[in-house]
Structure 1
Amino acid sequence: MTKAAEKVSREILLDGLVDCVDLPRIHWLVEQELPNADATELQAVTISVIRTLVEDGLVETGYPDNGEFVSEPLEDSLEELQRSYIAQYHEPIAWFGRLWLNLTDKGVAAATATPEGRRVAEHEKKRSESSPRTPDNC
């Protein structure tokens, strides 16, 4: 994995401590790391990061539904990315909301193994304790 992809992966794990991470956010993180990349490279790195995180057991793909995360197999998610993110790339509305990542227990452990991750997790814990609403998953 390239340094850019590693940095994006770390950011996804930190973001995942707060909420599910959607495709536009992942794509944006890749754009920030590779500002001179063309669309094909941005897509390739974005998909590579997603695949690696799933294969490493750190995240699951799927979508939020009524406060719950509905997992989907990686292959189904990759097919959806092909139909929307790749085929309709220049129409972002077509791929917004098509894929979400949710941290697994292993992903939470990896994210909180760093000082920044522990800080984010502690902040979220305090925020959820002081919030009158019931925290949901995504």
Structure 2
Amino acid sequence: MSISGFPGFRPPRDEVLLLGLVDWVPLERVHQAVVDAHPGSALSSSRESTLDLIDELARDGLFDIGDLTGANARFIPWSTSRSESLQRIRNAYVDGFDDPDQWSWFCWLDLTAHGALLAQPMEDRLRRSTEP
């Protein structure tokens, strides 16, 4: 079972898109999607792939990067540029990897309307394929 809850394998990008339909996606889930897709890869490679995936998702306008510092722990997008946001993530995630309590929840991704346009048909197909 994948982290999105559907049977079978999907690329990490698709897994994160599916997760985004449910809720904000923490850094830890993005990391896990990459690790699951490339078991046995070196940790440094998995971390770089995770950062690359976040960069791609934000660059393509599929997710906003932010955290849950809003009222009632709501998502707030970061006001920093994409490259500055990625550097912030790198500092917490790569440099502080030995402290998963810190980096796992350091940043979150919020699915945009554009991201939902890609993710919803994918989820619909997966639901139909698992119906009896």
Q: TM-score over 0.5 for the alignment?
A: yes
Figure out how many residues of one structure are paired with residues of the other and give that number: 114
C-alpha RMSD of the superposition: 2.0
Shift of 1:63: 1.2
Shift of 1:112: 1.2
Q: Which residue of 1 aligns with 2:59?
A: 55
Q: 1:83 to 1:52 in 2, by over 3 A?
A: same
Question: Which 5+ residue runs of structure 1 have no aligned equivalent?
Answer: 1-5, 122-138
Q: Which residue of 2 aligns with 1:43?
A: 47
Q: Which residue of 2 aligns with 1:107?
A: 115
Q: Which residue of 1 aligns with 2:3?
A: none
Shift of 1:119: 6.7
Deviations 1:64-114 (A, max 9, x none): 232532111323321222221111112212212111000000000110132
Q: 1:10 to 1:76 in 2, by over 3 A?
A: same
Question: Which 5+ residue runs of structure 2 have no aligned equivalent?
Answer: 1-9, 128-132
Measure, in 2, the Cα distance between the counterparts of 1:40 and 1:89.
10
* TM-score normalised over the length of structure 2: 0.78
Contact preservation (8 Å) 1:22, 1:100: yes
Q: Which runs of 4+ in 1 moved over 6 A?
A: none
Q: Which residue of 1 aligns with 2:30?
A: 26
Q: Which residue of 1 aligns with 2:124?
A: 118
